[in-house]
Structure 1
Amino acid sequence: MFRKYRWFIIFLLFLAGAFNYMDRVAFSVAAPFISKEFNLTPSQMGLLFSSFFLGYAIFNFIGGYLADRFGPRKVFGGALGLWSIFVGVTAVTYNFTSLYISRLFFGFAEGPVATTSNKMVNNWFPAKERASAIGIYTAGMPLGGAIAAPLVGLVSIQYGWRTAFIVLMILGLILTFFWMKLTKDYPKQHPKVSEAELKEILQGQDTVSDPSSAEKLSLWKTIKHPTILFTAVAFFAYNYNNFFFLTWFPSYLTDAKNLTVHDMSIVTIIPWLVGAIGLFFGGFISDYIYKKTKKLMFSRKVILVTGLFGSAICVGFVAIVETATAAVALMAIAVFFLYLTAMIYWAIIQDTVPSNNVGTAGGFVHLISNISGIIAPTVTGFLVQSTGSFSIAFYLAATLAILGALVVVFFVKPIKTAKEKKLSQISM
């Protein structure tokens, strides 16, 4: 299976996903140094964490639209190169305002990454392999976080936090070169794709829905459909918890549990590694359930509901444990459950939306979900500053995960085209 070229595309996306999270986690790990150097308050740090997501959320939708129009290869490559440059710009900031602006533009540049990645999967994979493919490449993200934690922490201690951002910029520009050289928008354009592989891909891409649905289901009808809207709500709950963990958990360990930056950099590897396992297997489990039950939406929903509920329970208990060991262990399990669901939101979009609208519809869902990235860090910062504790922030994150699971249970259903609705009425 993995000898086929489409899996090499996934390998490149895996590397890009790892680098994507290395860049994001870098700021969180370096936050104690940055906060001390610039004399920043918790609320100011919350605003800095959120500034990335303000730009990021806006360009989720724009990136998806551009991928539909110009192809995911160029849009992804451009985004990768630009965000690498803005990572480097972080190293020359000198106060709150310059940090805020650099993080804002860093978010703009990273905005297209998820929608263009999933557009590539939609172009290169048959429906039966999509959740697995998304699960593999998204597994690179927590691995990137695991690598970034000790790398940035130890480099910052030894050479200063600015050096870490320069190193990341260089790595990103190298990866951009290889992405542009080794990928194409469609498998039929790539000389290394065999006729047999191309036939396998093309035959498997129209197995879920009527190919004529692209003409009968408009973009507006797609994005306002309850399935798409409530998938976005569940994705919002997922990302709220994800970004709460990504931005504030390192500071929680140093401020509330009194770990040193060195120790924090080491122990935060654990949740990222456990999360990578969840990301890797979530898609395979969903595809396996689909093969056994032949119920596509059920195979997606069972993973979403189980993962969000499991994560909510663990996140809620983090608020009441006393030791750093218990907090890290519970958060690791929470991240595992949370990341089981990470690729399922995208799989639902690819399963239900006509292929020529996948980028734009996916960008819309990602936009809604990533508003949580603006809210979660800011709200957490103000809660910590006003209460002197992280407890309420953990309870809020857990509550949102439960709500996300509930809307999936009751409102996420297959989208029927006009033709399918007519046939259903006739059969009744």
Structure 2
Amino acid sequence: MTAVPTVHRPSAGTSPATGGGTRAWTVTALLVVFMMVNFADKSVLGLAADEIRADLDLSATQFGLANSAFFLLFSAAAVVVGLAADRVSTKTLILVMAVLWSVAQVPAAFGGGLAVLVASRMFLGAAEGPAFPVAQKATLSWFPDERRNLPGALVTLGVTLGVIVSAPGLSWVIQHHGWRAALWVLAAAGLVWAVAWAALGADGGHSVGTESGTEAGMDAGAGAGTEAGTEAAVVRPVTTRADVPYRKIFASRTWIGITLAYFTSYWCVALMLVWLPSYLRNALGYSADAAGTVVIAPWLVGALALLGQAAVTGWLMRRGIGSRRARGWVGGGLLALGAACCLALPLADGRTATTVLLALGFGLGGSYPTIAATTVAELAPPSRGGGALGTMNAVVTAAGLAAPAVVGALVDARGVGGYQSAVLVSGLLLTLGAAASFLMVDPQRDIARLDT
């Protein structure tokens, strides 16, 4: 059955020429903070790793498994809510998620042992699993495809800012008031954000998936000249079928390649969240306070990489360069640079050189999310955007299930040498991810195949 296309008009407060406007950027700013709270929640156990292990008498393997429990329901929830996002208001879904995050912090904040900690992290993981794909869908729905790189990058930047802003403060709370007090702080932050979103959040007027029809072509032409406008206009013709099956999307080389590349990137993100503070303290000799500051270095590198990638990708696409090169090759280059830094770690001489390589390797390696989200949003038809993003996120975040447990086992088996082994494994994975991004990602090729 061929679906009758719907031309989506911008919501109030947006500019037809730009796909943006005051309301669009207000929603984007709120979703940046949404992701900041999300990753502050994720980072708190890593910042308190030594204190939690001492308090609950945990081995490195047990602590790694406790962090892996966060991802047990994370992926399944991402798929379910991602599919729901194609039918339910993203404003409502995001509000429910934010409230549940705060509720999830309470049991472990009150007290209890390992079982309570694991249960609360599983609940938190289920509530946070859909956050990134739904936030990206909510943001991108306010902008046409060729103008999505910056807002998409800003929402992804919230991931980085969440750790940069929260790490020093949470470390101070942990050192002076205990790790459970830090959970109360995060619960309060989530509730405050939920109130702001209830008042100011809104759904956008653009479909997530390459725009169909004349309006998309006009927007592209206004921003990039005739060549780019023509390219955007023909990516999905007006007769695009809304019922393209998910299996065709998931079988495309672009979806497989982008998901594999993003998986390797998320592996680095998981290690930064869970084990990097312990690496800095136990292997490199930083004090607890110093580690709480130094730990933000790779996140700063990642923030700069995200903004640089968004600028370069947008510049290329406005000049008619296809997203195979503008997204796949640019993203693959970042992963390759990250891999080189990780694999060079054994050559580092001294703590400073090791810290620099860690910051560059993990920062560049973890900078792929915007490439992944905008590429899948381009690939999938509008009616399949949420499901395609959610399923990708579910597969990718399996890295978060595996990485903490693997590193915990390495640390128990090899002591501080286990940390360096974990970095080398990350470098090898990033090499694989870079190859997938370079060789497999070509949305325009696969869009044509989906529409046949």
Q: Same fold (TM over 0.5)?
A: yes
Pick which of 113-122 and 171-180 moved more. 113-122
Please give the alpha-carbon distance, in whole angstroms, between the structure 1 residues aligned to 2:108 and 2:59. Answer: 19
Counterpart among 356, 359, 364 of residue 332 in structure 1 = 359
Counterpart among 253, 264, 272 of residue 280 in structure 2 = 253
Alpha-carbon distance, 1:143 to partner: 1.3
Please give the alpha-carbon distance, in whole angstroms, between the structure 2 residues aligned to 1:212 and 1:104. Answer: 43
User: In the alignment, which residue of structure 1 is the partner of 2:211?
Assistant: none
Please give the alpha-carbon distance, in whole angstroms, between the structure 2 residues aligned to 1:280 and 1:304. Answer: 12
Alpha-carbon distance, 1:149 to partner: 1.5
Q: What amino acid is the match of 1:285?
A: V
Closer, same or farther: CA 47–253 of 1 in aligned 2, 3 Å: same
User: In the alignment, which residue of structure 2 is the partner of 1:424?
Assistant: none
Alpha-carbon distance, 1:200 to partner: 7.7
Please give the alpha-carbon distance, in whole angstroms, between the structure 1 residues aligned to 2:194 and 2:450. Answer: 43
Alpha-carbon distance, 1:320 to partner: 4.7
Alpha-carbon distance, 1:10 to partner: 0.9
Tell whether the 8 Å contact from 1:90 to 1:99 is kept in structure 2 after alignment. yes
Tell whether the 8 Å contact from 1:68 to 1:357 is kept in structure 2 after alignment. yes
Closer, same or farther: CA 201–11 of 1 in aligned 2, 3 Å: farther
How many pairs are equivalent? 411
User: In the alignment, which residue of structure 2 is the partner of 1:133?
Assistant: 151
| 1:351 and 2:378 correspond | yes
Secondary structure in 2 matching 1:35: helix
**Unpaired runs of at least 5, structure 1:** 189-198, 422-428
Tell whether the 8 Å contact from 1:268 to 1:328 is kept in structure 2 after alignment. no
User: In the alignment, which residue of structure 2 is the partner of 1:312?
Assistant: 339
Please give the alpha-carbon distance, in whole angstroms, between the structure 2 residues aligned to 1:239 and 1:340. Answer: 9
Tell whether the 8 Å contact from 1:253 to 1:324 is kept in structure 2 after alignment. no
Closer, same or farther: CA 285–55 of 1 in aligned 2, 3 Å: same
User: In the alignment, which residue of structure 2 is the partner of 1:416?
Assistant: 447
User: In the alignment, which residue of structure 2 is the partner of 1:395?
Assistant: 424
Secondary structure in 2 matching 1:214: coil
Tell whether the 8 Å contact from 2:270 to 2:400 is kept in structure 1 after alignment. yes
**Unpaired runs of at least 5, structure 2:** 1-17, 207-213, 221-231
Larger helix proportion, structure 1 or 2?
A: 1
Pick which of 60-69 and 365-374 moved more. 60-69
Secondary structure in 1 matching 2:276: helix
Please give the alpha-carbon distance, in whole angstroms, between the structure 2 residues aligned to 1:37 and 1:122. Answer: 43
| 1:285 and 2:321 correspond | no
Deviations 1:327-371 (A, max 9, x none): 321222224423442200011101111011010011111111111
Please give the alpha-carbon distance, in whole angstroms, between the structure 2 residues aligned to 1:36 and 1:328. Answer: 26
Please give the alpha-carbon distance, in whole angstroms, between the structure 2 residues aligned to 1:263 and 1:123. Answer: 41
1:18-97 maps to which residues of 2 (within 5 A)? 18-97=36-115
| 1:154 and 2:172 correspond | yes
Counterpart among 352, 374, 378 of residue 405 in structure 2 = 378
Secondary structure in 2 matching 1:210: coil
Secondary structure in 2 matching 1:91: helix
Normalised to the residue count of structure 2, the TM-score between the two structures is 0.86
Tell whether the 8 Å contact from 1:281 to 1:340 is kept in structure 2 after alignment. no
Tell whether the 8 Å contact from 2:248 to 2:450 is kept in structure 1 after alignment. no
Normalised to the residue count of structure 1, the TM-score between the two structures is 0.90
Secondary structure in 1 matching 2:242: helix
Q: What amino acid is the match of 2:422?
A: A
Secondary structure in 2 matching 1:68: coil
Alpha-carbon distance, 1:201 to partner: 8.0
| 1:228 and 2:255 correspond | yes
Please give the alpha-carbon distance, in whole angstroms, between the structure 2 residues aligned to 1:92 and 1:256. Answer: 32
Alpha-carbon distance, 1:50 to partner: 0.8
Aligned alpha-carbon RMSD (Å): 2.2
User: In the alignment, which residue of structure 1 is the partner of 2:229?
Assistant: none
Please give the alpha-carbon distance, in whole angstroms, between the structure 2 residues aligned to 1:143 and 1:252. Answer: 21
Please give the alpha-carbon distance, in whole angstroms, between the structure 2 residues aligned to 1:385 and 1:211. Answer: 58
Please give the alpha-carbon distance, in whole angstroms, between the structure 1 residues aligned to 2:264 and 2:450. Answer: 33
Please give the alpha-carbon distance, in whole angstroms, between the structure 2 residues aligned to 1:402 and 1:134. Answer: 25
Closer, same or farther: CA 29–249 of 1 in aligned 2, 3 Å: same
Q: What amino acid is the match of 1:401?
A: L
Identity of aligned residues (%): 26
Tell whether the 8 Å contact from 2:31 to 2:139 is kept in structure 1 after alignment. no
